[in-house]
Amino acid sequence: MPQNPAIPLSVLDLAPVRQNGTVAGALANSLDLARHVEKLGYNRFWVAEHHNMPGIASSATSVLIGYLAGGTSTIRVGSGGVMLPNHAPLVIAEQFGTLEALYPGRIDLGLGRAPGTDPMTMRALRRELVDDDNAFPQNVQELLALLAPAVEGQKLRAVPGAGSNVPVWLLGSSTFSAQLAGLLGLPFSFASHFAPLRLMDALETYRHFFKPSAYLEKPYVMVGLPVLAAETDEEAQFQATTQYQRLVNLVRGQPTVLMPPVDSMEGLWEPREEAYVRSHLGVAIIGGPDTVRTKLAAFIEQTGADELIVTTDFYDPADRKRSFEILMDAHRD
């Protein structure tokens, strides 16, 4: 499906905590990155809700969004996403209604249906351990109603929130949210940065089921894409070992902080772990400017994405900032 090569690029950040680093440092680095990509022309800067993970400092997502929006001026800031099963829709409507009142026209609300954590932490979040396929669609529609203008006689209102009309996105790594987003006429973002095997099925499902709505006249899809760009292919492959180590520790059930890159992963992963990492990063673009330019154009052509949201793990924040510079230059060429 051919697409305009100048589609918007956005950023997904997890406020990563580095080895020997601090949460305060991670949050400061996220704001520094948001300011940097704002100047480069990126469209959105989203942060994701995860819990009980020592290497991720974005668990209080709405609080972090306020910090980031307050430190920038034009870039849209939002959640990629808020894990709605962890929260009452009224609470999220109030939080994002407040953010919209403070930073009008710049706030996005992306919603996921996963818990973003482990079963023990789910209990600590006071979430019932019941997988009810009906609960998420009902909660999404309740939240949409709370963000819409209040009607006469409405007894339950989000204050702030009612009438804010904060743009709501559905996020997914399968076809479930893709179908729901289509049926509700909402924009959809697919997590191909960790679920690449379901990408094309999810995009086809979303576009097939899409119904025009008060939110959108036609489908709008943003696709997650891991990109690690450096001055050369060799340097990018070296930097990628930071992400490889993170994923290996994750699959071992031992999530950790970001580790420095290493010259070789030999001895650091088993064959099955290497296979998992390479599958997990199936659509990742890792390389120098020419490699990034070629693979980026091919990915856009393949998916017909309306927008890309890019995520990346670098140990050194300066290398991460440089990666987003190289990516934007390659995209504009």
CATH 3.20.20.30 location in the chain: 1-166
Q: Give the span between the Cα atoms of 182 and 233, in whole angstroms.
A: 38
How is residue 182 written in tokens? Answer: 């289509």
* Selected residue with higher pLDDT from 129 and 222: 222
pLDDT of 253-308, one tens digit each? 898 999 999 999 999 999 999 999 999 999 999 999 999 999 999 999 999 999 99
Rounded average pLDDT over 68-92: 95
Q: What sign has the CA pseudo-torsion 95, 193, 9, 313?
A: positive
The pLDDT value recorded for residue 65 is 98
Label the pairing between strands 188-190 and 307-311: unpaired
List the CATH code of the domain at 1-166.
Answer: 3.20.20.30
Segment 91-95 mean pLDDT: 97
DSSP 149: P
Note the pLDDT of residue 198.
93
Among 165, 147, 166, CA closest to 157: 147
Residue 325's alpha-carbon distances to 24, 32, 39, 222, 234, in angstroms, are 25, 14, 10, 20, 18
CB 235 within 8 A of CB 228: no
Does residue 3 surpass a pLDDT of 50? Answer: no
Mean pLDDT of the chain: 93
pLDDT for 6: 79
**Cross-strand bridge partners of residue 168:** 109
State the DSSP code for 150.
P
Local structure of residue 198 (DSSP, 8 states): G
Q: Is residue 157 pLDDT above 50, yes or no?
A: yes
Please name the residues in contact with 223: beta carbons below 8 A apart, sequence gap of 6 or more.
189, 190, 192, 199, 203, 299, 303, 305, 307, 308, 309
Helices (H), the chain: 23-40, 61-70, 89-102, 119-124, 135-147, 175-184, 199-209, 233-251, 271-280, 289-303, 317-332
SS3 of 270, please?
Answer: coil
118 pLDDT higher than 50 = yes
Tens of pLDDT, residues 172-224: 999 999 999 999 999 999 999 888 999 999 999 999 999 999 999 999 999 99
